[in-house]
Structure 1
Amino acid sequence: MTTPDARSGTGRPAELFFEDLVPGLTVDLGVVTVDANEMVAFARRFDPQWYHVDPDLAAESRHGGLIASGFYTVSLFMRAYVDHLLSRAAADASPGLEELRWLAPVRAGDRLAVRVDVMGARPSTARPGLGTVSLTGTMLRLGPDDRPEQEVLRTRFRGWFAVRPVEVDPADAGAVEAAPTDADRPETDQSETDRPETDRPDADQPSADRPASDPIAADPAAAGSPDGDPTEISGSTEPQRHD
């Protein structure tokens, strides 16, 4: 059975863990093509500004036509990130992002190359069992020859990823199960405190006859002080008088 911390971001068994996401690693997230209908539908639902939804006004403006909502563009990035990395990695939630920049307009039909670069990684101090990975995501518009023409989006963010589970050797597990318990030990192995009252050497002795090693018999005054100091009785540093 796959434990939750060994599942990928899409619920399947994970193959990548925190230890695999080392600084300097670049992950290719593929190429996405901007669909005109989807781009406008997103804008009408979430960002209905005229240069996203009104083709006539957009054509007469400096934009020269409709441009995508920036949040639609970052949604395309997120989908590529899930499809090509989080679907394989033991991903947890994200604690947030530090930067999100829209560097150039995105239009219907654009082909955008997507990637992430691992900038840093460290064990999480807030969540044991997880590591914090710092990532930079970029989207670049491709030309007709599939060469990058212009960077259109950049984001810096962090993600939590589970550390690789430690596999227990079955032989070691069997040794732990075979270890004797207190109930299995012979009576001679029991400590003094585990023996019945009648079996203790001083069980039949009255308190006055107990050896001086008994703290109760050796220092009656100590019982009156939490620190065991006979000079500190009832809050006074002077010996108590009995008139």
Structure 2
Amino acid sequence: MFSELVVLDDPTPRPGPLNMAIDEVLLGRARSAILRFYRWSAPSVSFGYFVSFSEACEIASNRATVRRWTGGGIVPHGEDLTYSIMIGSRDDAFALASKIIYQRVHLALGSALREIGIVSALVQTEATKISDACFANPVVSDVIENGRKIAGAAQRKTRGGLLHQGSIQRENLDERFRNAFARLLGNRIIAGSIGTDVLRAAEELAATKYATVDWLQRR
């Protein structure tokens, strides 16, 4: 899908507000498309921009919570593989409809799973929403295994780019899967890292936005 893809396999577990801030900072600086895999410093729950804080707390229980900039539902983190894709406005893929990007990312994800022996499929029809819990509500192009949703995502598109934040609720997704997923998304892969300038900007954004009560409880 991308002629060039920068892959950031971020090894440092980080708190939710900082993870969200890094994604936003990377989106603002993306030239080539960026694929980032990341970890959480504690069991956490992220929830979509339009979800109410009270409902997120009911599902989160005692886990840390963070509101995403993207939409979507309530997602548990800690045992999942979390990733994000940042597409700058100059990338050819930015011209595609958001739902087409969603589908193509999940087609690549399903193919990568198949390469490591996991058989999955994409949801073809919309189901009735029963909860704001993301993985209780498969939507079109989500990834399912034996009828259970194992991969979903949320997006936000601005004039400057598109942010796609995804979670794969499946254990033992090692380097083989991550490499296959990247290869199936990008024609040319460039290994990257989180630079000190990005981290510094993200720490400031986390402190002034994602870690604030105003942001967390805005709905």
- The two structures share one fold, judged by TM-score above 0.5: no
Of structures 1 and 2, the one scoring higher in RCO (CA 8 A, sep 6+) is: 2
Q: Output the TM-score relative to the length of structure 2.
A: 0.24
Larger radius of gyration: 1
Q: TM-score, normalised by structure 1?
A: 0.22
